[in-house]
């Protein structure tokens, strides 16, 4: 085990990033006490639930890690102030969604949770504290955090009262985990990125990861390169998805097949075969937000052509979703009034219960506006979450949440696959066909079903990109 004088870590924010990341740090660094804190007491209660099926984040393998570490050196609580005071290193892992109103609305990140975390740290930290940015943030946020940490009135007052010298170092250590494979991504990352201003802090943060990650995988840079690299990594990944999705429409028009094209181009080692699955567009909390941040940053520096270039990635993503909704409407004789449609999958991808920016939200809303009755089934997303995402009051009886895929499909005119949950591949499609209204349609927006088998059963099948 790598020795370090880090004994106590606090993570502010017990979400999809903070929870799994800190669990793995606790697993791999048994000598470090890890306190994960959150202002949301329900979330903390869920992290502490006896029944590990009730953890707030569904992530394969996470329950095992929690079972091993919780109560040993991993603690979830709402004791934000005390945990800050005890910490040698504080990770900030709070939410940073796109601003909805005011300056930069629709593009810039809302940093109010970052600011309030920094204010609390300024007040309660003791001695020298390393503050690590874990959340995805706009470039130069470290500067804002630093200003807050050093300029607060109460900080001065407290320092005088306690006669304690408070000092801070800011480090950027963005997280690259992908939901659904977070545990493996954290255990075996392609790289860990640590950006900072002083070598001592960089070394200390590196020493945590060195407990299980080889030094050659730990990349160190200056603060701004690290912050920007996170945005750019997500922008490049999202760009690949918009590129392949743009070509999916061309395949439909020309008779080419998007999976064959993806395979053909992906076997060029310069292009590579990952992240070439065409689908209903990217969702999740990061891609759209990070590109919009990049666009905002470019415009701020007067780089309008660069901003337009990246903004197009988001535009194609929205267009792909609209395109799918209108293909469904057109195939169902141009009207969805009095038609029941089964929506299979509501999370933004398989193996997560996260619905943020899920393509299912926009596509479902388009279909509801056409007057459809939608019956939803998702193996992991709770009913309340689906209703909340859809602004369900507007649509009343037209939304039904089902306990099984079969319930959702019974009596439906169409089944629409929006998330590629493995269990959808194993459904009894012959039984489902018999239970549906005729003609019975399947719209496979994830290209995950066997369309010739389904056609043989009698279904009309539309598969994206062919």
Residues with catalytic roles: 286
Q: Which of 47, 75, 107, 113 binds ligand ADP (CB under 6 A)?
A: 113
Cβ nearer to ligand ADP, comparing 77 with 220: 77
- Give the nearest distance from C-beta 396 to ligand ADP in angstroms: 29
- Give the nearest distance from C-beta 219 to ligand ADP in angstroms: 21
Please give the Cα distance from 237 to 248 (Å, whole number). 17
Q: Does 13 bind ligand ADP (CB under 6 A)?
A: yes
Residue in the block written with tokens 């509801």: 368
Binding partner of residue 279 among ligand UDX, ligand ADP, none, CB cut-off 5 to 8 Å per kind: ligand UDX
Q: Which stretch binds ligand ADP (CB under 6 A): 3-11, 38-46, 65-73, 193-201?
A: 38-46
Calculate the CA dihedral of residues 211, 212, 216, 221 and round it to 10 degrees: -60
Lay out the sheet containing 399-401: strands in order across.
399-401, 373-377, 340-344, 414-417, 441-444, 460-463
Site string for ligand UDX, 179-218 (x = CB under 6 A): x---------------------------------------
Cα→Cα distances 65→54, 183, 220, 288, 465, Å: 15, 9, 28, 30, 40
Cα→Cα distances 116→35, 110, 356, Å: 18, 12, 23
Backbone angles phi, psi at 444, to 5 degrees: -100, 95
Which residues inside 233-272 make contact with ligand UDX, applying CB under 6 A? Answer: 234, 237, 241
Q: Which of 4, 93, 293, 353 binds ligand ADP (CB under 6 A)?
A: 93
Please give the Cα distance from 18 to 175 (Å, whole number). 9
Q: Which of 212, 224, 275, 309 binds ligand UDX (CB under 6 A)?
A: 275
Binding partner of residue 377 among ligand ADP, ligand UDX, none, CB cut-off 5 to 8 Å per kind: none
Binding partner of residue 364 among ligand ADP, ligand UDX, none, CB cut-off 5 to 8 Å per kind: none
Which residues inside 267-296 make contact with ligand ADP, applying CB under 6 A? Answer: 285
Binding partner of residue 116 among ligand ADP, ligand UDX, none, CB cut-off 5 to 8 Å per kind: ligand ADP
Binding partner of residue 348 among ligand ADP, ligand UDX, none, CB cut-off 5 to 8 Å per kind: ligand UDX
Q: Does 187 bind ligand ADP (CB under 6 A)?
A: no
Q: Which residues pair with 303 in a beta bridge?
A: none
Q: What is the number of alpha carbons within 13 Å of residue 96 lying toward its C-beta? A: 27
Q: Which stretch binds ligand ADP (CB under 6 A): 39-47, 228-236, 248-256, 331-339?
A: 39-47
Q: Does 18 bind ligand ADP (CB under 6 A)?
A: yes
Q: Which of 134, 289, 339, 349 binds ligand UDX (CB under 6 A)?
A: 349
Which residues inside 350-409 make contact with ligand UDX, applying CB under 6 A? Answer: none
Which residues inside 278-297 make contact with ligand UDX, applying CB under 6 A? Answer: 279, 282-284, 286-287
Q: How big is the site for ligand ADP, counted in residues (CB under 6 A)?
A: 21
Q: Does 40 bind ligand ADP (CB under 6 A)?
A: yes
Q: Which stretch binds ligand ADP (CB under 6 A): 109-117, 365-373, 427-435, 440-448?
A: 109-117
Cβ nearer to ligand UDX, comparing 166 with 349: 349
Backbone angles phi, psi at 43, to 5 degrees: -65, -40
Cβ nearer to ligand UDX, comparing 227 with 413: 227
Whether the CB-CB separation of 291 and 311 falls below 8 Å is answered with yes
Binding residues for ligand UDX, per CB under 6 A?
A: 175-179, 234, 237, 241, 275-277, 279, 282-284, 286-287, 348-349
Binding residues for ligand ADP, per CB under 6 A?
A: 12-18, 37-40, 43, 80, 93-95, 113, 116-117, 135, 285
């Amino acid at each position: 085990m790598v020795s370090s004088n880090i004994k106590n870590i606090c993570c502010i924010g017990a979400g999809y990033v903070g929870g799994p990341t800190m669990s793995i740090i606790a697993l791999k660094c048994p000598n470090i006490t890890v306190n994960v804190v959150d202002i949301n007491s329900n979330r903390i209660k869920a992290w502490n639930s006896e029944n590990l099926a009730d953890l707030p984040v569904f992530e394969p393998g996470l329950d095992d890690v929690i079972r091993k570490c919780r109560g040993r050196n991993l603690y979830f609580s709402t004791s934000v102030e005390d945990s800050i005071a005890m910490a040698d290193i504080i990770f900030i892992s709070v939410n940073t969604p796109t601003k909805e109103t005011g300056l930069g609305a629709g593009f810039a990140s809302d940093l109010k949770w970052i600011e309030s975390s920094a204010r609390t740290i300024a007040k309660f930290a003791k001695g020298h504290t390393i503050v690590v940015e874990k959340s995805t943030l706009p470039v130069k946020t470290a500067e804002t955090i630093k200003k807050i940490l050093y300029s607060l009135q109460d900080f001065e007052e407290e320092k005088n009262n306690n006669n304690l010298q408070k000092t801070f170092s800011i480090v950027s250590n963005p997280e690259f985990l992908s939901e659904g494979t977070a545990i493996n991504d954290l255990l075996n990352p392609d790289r860990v990125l640590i950006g900072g201003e002083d070598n001592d802090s960089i070394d200390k943060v590196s020493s945590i990861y060195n407990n299980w990650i080889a030094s050659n995988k730990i990349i160190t840079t200056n603060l701004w390169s690290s912050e920007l690299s996170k945005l750019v990594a997500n922008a490049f990944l999202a760009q690949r998805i918009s590129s392949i999705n743009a070509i999916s429409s061309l395949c439909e028009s020309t008779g080419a097949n998007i999976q064959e094209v993806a395979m053909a181009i992906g076997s060029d080692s310069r292009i590579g075969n990952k992240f070439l699955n065409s689908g209903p567009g990217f969702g999740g909390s990061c891609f759209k937000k990070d590109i919009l941040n990049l666009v905002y940053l470019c415009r701020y520096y007067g780089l309008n052509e660069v901003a337009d270039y990246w903004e197009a990635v988001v535009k194609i993503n929205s267009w792909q979703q609209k395109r799918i909704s209108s293909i469904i409407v057109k195939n169902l004789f141009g009207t969805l009034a009095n038609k029941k449609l089964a929506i299979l999958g509501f999370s933004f991808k398989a193996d997560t219960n996260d619905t943020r920016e899920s393509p299912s939200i926009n596509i479902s809303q388009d279909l509801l506006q056409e007057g459809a009755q939608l019956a939803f089934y998702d193996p992991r997303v709770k009913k309340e979450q689906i209703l909340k995402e859809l602004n369900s009051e507007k649509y009343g009886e037209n939304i039904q949440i089902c306990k099984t895929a079969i319930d959702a499909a019974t009596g439906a005119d169409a089944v629409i696959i929006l998330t590629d949950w493995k269990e959808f591949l194993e459904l009894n499609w012959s039984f489902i066909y018999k239970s549906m209204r005729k003609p019975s349609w399947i719209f496979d927006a994830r290209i995950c079903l066997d369309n010739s088998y389904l056609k043989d059963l009698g279904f009309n099948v539309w598969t994206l990109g062919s």
